[in-house]
Amino acid sequence: MGFDQYHEPPDELPPATRTFARLCASLTEEAEAIGWYEQRIAVETDAEALAVMRDAQGEEFKHFSMDLEYLLRRMPPWREIAQGILFQTGDIVEHGEEAEAEALDGGGGGAEGAFEDGSLGIGSLRGGGL
């Protein structure tokens, strides 16, 4: 088992950062799995095998989405940028630039708050402590 999701000595990282890194690694793996299934599905001709792989790919969609939501809940600027890009129609790059400017260059947040419900977005702090 590898520990290469850490780029700094794990002993020097706080628990919350280690958990964050694990979920980032998990997110990467789920995205890779989605891509691998997509390639397999593209070349498979057996209908039953295709159904099994489509079902398996659906699981990876779920896993990826759960990982992403976990990470976004713990990093408000990332969440704020994502809110400006995801599930929007129109130019993706344009939305990205606008969302980044809003979140990081002084826009966004403010009286409306960084989170949709107006909360501080603290949520779970599991993994915190010494």
Partner 1 sequence: MNHLLRSQAPISDAGWRMLDEEARERLSAALGARKLVDYSGPNGWTYSATNLGRTRPVDSSPSEGVIGRQRVVLPVVELRADFALSREELRDADRGAEDADLEPLDDAAHQIALAENVAVFHGWGEAIGGIASASPHDAASLGDSAEQYPRQVAGAVEQLLCSGVTGPYGLALGREQYRRVVETAEHGGYPLLDHLRRILEGGPIVWTPGVKGAVVVSLRGGDFLFESGQDLSLGYDSHDAEVVRLYLEESFSFRVATPEAAVALSA
Q: How many CA atoms lie within 13 A of 48 on its CB side?
A: 0
Q: Is 1 in the site for partner 1 (CB under 8 A)?
A: no
11 binds partner 1 (CB under 8 A): no
* Footprint of partner 1 on 16-75 (CB under 8 A): none
**DSSP states of 49-103:** HHHHHHHHHHHHHHHHHHHHHHHHHH-HHHHHHHHHHTT--S-HHHHHHHHHHHH
DSSP for residue 122: -
Quick check: 122 binds partner 1 (CB under 8 A)? yes
Q: Is residue 90 at the binding interface for partner 1, with CB under 8 A as the rule? A: no
User: Which window, 18-26, 35-43, 51-59, 115-123, contacts partner 1 (CB under 8 A)?
Assistant: 115-123
Q: Tell me how many residues contact partner 1 (CB under 8 A).
A: 24
Q: What are the residues binding partner 1 (CB under 8 A)?
A: 15, 76, 106-107, 109-114, 117-130
